[in-house]
Amino acid sequence: MCHRPTRAIVDLDAIRHNVGVVRRHVGPRCRIAAVVKADGYGHGALEVARAVLDAGSTMLCVALPEEGVALRQRFPDAPILVLGTILPSQAGTVANSGLTQTVDDDASLSRLDSAAALCGRPARVHLKIDTGMSRLGVEPEDAVRFMRRAREHRHIEVEGVYSHFATSEEPDQTFARRQLERFGATVAELEQDGFTFELTHMANSAAVLSIPESHLDMVRTGIILYGLRPAPHLGDDLRPAMTVVSQVTKLRTLPAGTPVSYGATYVTERARRIATIPMGYADGYRRGLSNRFHVLIRGQQAPVVGRVCMDMFMVDVSEVSGVEKGDEALILGKKGSDHLPAEEMAQTLHTIPYEVVTGITRRVPRTYMN
């Protein structure tokens, strides 16, 4: 079997450690729902799911029904909440797989009820309230009417009610606290109308760390499970779980005046030693890093020179002593004493670390360590 030199190493012990960090923040009674959508934020949904369930998470969260179906095949008894709303045509998939579905419209509710009747078991749902994200959810003033409608369906079991923060990672939490107050008022109104819920939840990763009054019955933890900070001022005790490495596959000394890569955006000013790394934007090493970032080889920075290609990029190793073909290049994460955090790459790309790790494509093989 051919082993590609570029690979992502996922530390499952780090993920278990991060579940423990969440537990310390939320206390023993609050449930932990682990968000493993987008293939576990690029880390591998099945492997991450097993680790977080072992570490004490009680629910898995996905964005799409098909993500839930893949998990259900491996975890037949785990509660799996679909965070995205669905088209009515997807109701059968949800009901047949025993997924718990987010609802915020009448048509999907009716189709879920019909699909559940055919399955012979109730469909569990969570009502989503839009408190300020303006993405999904029932408007707070429409929540009671919607729940009365849900109560008419014999095969629907409303297990929970929740909302989602839009700004909980910001230092100024004025808007986040306004959202929390709006959610609390809506839940109180529903309870006054006779509705009860097993689970109320609102806290995402940032709120777990910064808004303890939002923990409620359950928290939904995403990025912090993977050891990445939702904001620079949050998450000092997290352990990043993903490390991406590659190897030098070509070395050459180029004379002054030599262009490197597409578009000749980099031209050597003097003789330089250039190494080729077999990773490119098809693997998630973004083109926006061209001439702007670096890798670590033998513990030293080797700057990216020229444009990142689909399958390769080049680095200048002129200042790194003794580089040889086959030397390891740290692309992302931590290896020994070398550290190149996803947050640093994200800052260079003017984005967030979420996009960095989820962007490492499946063409890069994952290996797992405990």
- The segments of the chain whose pLDDT lies below 70 read 1-2
Please count the other Cβ atoms lying within 10 Å of the Cβ belonging to residue 52: 28
The tokens describing 60, both together, are: 């898995």
0.75 exceeded by pTM? yes
- Of 243, 238, 237, nearest in space to 223 by CA: 238
Cβ(139)–Cβ(130) below 8 Å: yes
Cβ(229)–Cβ(314) below 8 Å: no
Note if 37 is an active site residue: yes
**CB-neighbour burial class of residue 144 (10 A; exposed 0-12, middle 13-18, buried 19+):** middle
**Catalytic one of 37, 128, 162, 354:** 37
Distances in whole angstroms, Cα of residue 326 to Cα of each of 59, 145, 246, 268: 43, 65, 9, 24
Note if 334 is an active site residue: no
Domain boundaries, the chain: 12-226, 242-369
CA distance 127 to 142: 12
Fold of 242-369: Lyase, Ornithine Decarboxylase; Chain A, domain 1 (2.40.37)
CATH architecture of 12-226: Alpha-Beta Barrel (3.20)
Residues in the chain, overall count: 370
**Catalytic one of 250, 262, 281, 368:** 262
pLDDT of residue 3: 80
CA distance 162 to 214: 11
